Amino acid sequence: MNSKELEALFDQQAAGYDQQWARQAPVRDCLHFLLESVFSELPENAHLLCVGAGTGQELLYLAARHPQWRFTAVEPSSAMMQECRRNAEAQGVAERCDFHTGYLDSLPRETEFDAATSFLVSQFILDPRARIGFFKEIAARLKPAGILASSDLTARADPQQQARLMTLWAQVLSAEPVTPQVVARMEQAYHRDVAVLPADNVEAMIRQAGFTAPIPFFQAGMIRAWSARRD
Ligand SMILES: C[S@@+](CC[C@H](N)C(=O)[O-])C[C@H]1O[C@@H](n2cnc3c(N)ncnc32)[C@H](O)[C@@H]1O
């Protein structure tokens, strides 16, 4: 997917996005619960960068628990950003947020952030060098030793294990019993639209981008999340 296709895809999904993924709320809740510990040492007045903020779920969760934190949301889909802003206004936290519709490369370099989130975002960058470049851009926006929390869809390196994991994940996403055809369609869509790599490969990319010691702090089905520090 090029950037126009990606933006169109998320523009189209934005209005129903939270409803579409409601079934996965327990997975997201657990990720957010663990994220609190990852960010537990941040100062009271921390400034966070939320890359690929979507409808704002991680931002809203953290804003509710940390009344003095500020947030900069970066999101290329204008319709997703509209949902994010609307949700932040409804929760009464919008005045602590800056909303940047676009990519990191066009975000003004005024702020050095204490921490960043990137949840289910880097997987959309299919070229490995560009994906490392994406993590590098996040590193460049953080203070020294700033914390990154990043999640992505990941695969098993062994094809048989991966086939079983994909079937399990398809079932997690569906309220109905899944057929082999459904799993095959999902596999094709992943193959076309996202780079679902073995977790070790993604971890290596995070290191190559200038982060030390990525720690896998969450795994649910195909989603793995790491915390890492800027060198
Ligand atoms: C799967 S959604 C996840 C949204 C949110 N982080 C969450 O976990 O609910 C991915 C979001 O990342 C955005 N995105 C994709 N590629 C991006 C990039 N290179 N930089 C910033 N955002 C990107 C998409 O527009 C989309 O809103």
* CATH code: domain of residue 150: 3.40.50.150
Q: Quote the pLDDT of residue 222.
A: 97
182/171 Cα distance (integer angstroms): 9
Tell me how far the alpha carbon of residue 74 lies from the centroid of ligand 1, in angstroms: 9
Answer whether residue 41 is part of any domain: yes
Strands 223-230, 211-220: parallel, antiparallel or unpaired by DSSP? antiparallel
Answer whether residue 185 is part of any domain: no
Q: Is the C-beta atom of 6 inside 6 A of ligand 1?
A: yes
27/82 Cα distance (integer angstroms): 24
Tell me how far the alpha carbon of residue 47 lies from the centroid of ligand 1, in angstroms: 19
**Ligand 1 pocket: which of 11, 121, 190, 223 to mutate (most atoms <8 Å of CB)?**
121
Q: Name, in order, each residue with C-beta under 8 angstroms of 68's C-beta and a sequence gap of 6 or more.
A: 44, 45, 46
- The closest residue, in CA terms, to atom 23 on ligand 1 is 52
Answer whether residue 48 is part of any domain: yes
**Ligand 1 pocket: which of 51, 124, 152, 153 to mutate (most atoms <8 Å of CB)?**
124
Answer whether residue 160 is part of any domain: no
**Which one-letter amino acid corresponds to residue 53?**
A
The domain total for the chain is 1
Q: Quote the pLDDT of residue 1.
A: 83
Q: Is the C-beta atom of 75 inside 6 A of ligand 1?
A: yes
Place of tokens 């649910």: 220
Q: Is the C-beta atom of 182 inside 6 A of ligand 1?
A: no
Q: Quote the pLDDT of residue 28.
A: 97
Tell me how far the alpha carbon of residue 177 lies from the centroid of ligand 1, in angstroms: 28
Tell me how far the alpha carbon of residue 7 lies from the centroid of ligand 1, in angstroms: 9
Answer whether residue 86 is part of any domain: yes
Q: Quote the pLDDT of residue 213.
A: 84
In this structure, the number of other CB atoms found within 10 A of the CB of residue 106 comes to 10
Tell me how far the alpha carbon of residue 179 lies from the centroid of ligand 1, in angstroms: 29
**Which one-letter amino acid corresponds to residue 231?**
D
Contact call for residues 121 and 188 (beta carbons, < 8 A): no
Q: Quote the pLDDT of residue 99.
A: 98
Q: Name, in order, each residue with C-beta under 8 angstroms of 219's C-beta and a sequence gap of 6 or more.
A: 225
- The closest residue, in CA terms, to atom 13 on ligand 1 is 52
Strands 142-155, 197-198: parallel, antiparallel or unpaired by DSSP? parallel
139/126 Cα distance (integer angstroms): 20
Answer whether residue 186 is part of any domain: no
78-90 and 3-13 helices cross at what angle (nearest 10)? 40
199-208 and 128-141 helices cross at what angle (nearest 10)? 50
Q: Quote the pLDDT of residue 225.
A: 98
Q: Quote the pLDDT of residue 65.
A: 98
Tell me how far the alpha carbon of residue 54 lies from the centroid of ligand 1, in angstroms: 5
Q: Tokens representing 196?
A: 């679902």
Tell me how far the alpha carbon of residue 67 lies from the centroid of ligand 1, in angstroms: 24
Place of tokens 């990191």: 104
Sign of the alpha-carbon torsion through 33, 39, 42, 47: negative
Q: Quote the pLDDT of residue 71.
A: 98
Largest CA distance in the chain: 51
Answer whether residue 168 is part of any domain: no
Place of tokens 């966070």: 48
Residue range of the domain that includes 118: 3-155+194-230
Mean pLDDT per 10-residue section of the chain, whose length is 231 residues: 94 96 96 98 98 98 98 98 98 98 96 97 97 98 98 97 96 94 95 95 98 96 98 89
Answer whether residue 165 is part of any domain: no
To 5 degrees, how large is the angle CA 99–CA 148–CA 217? 125
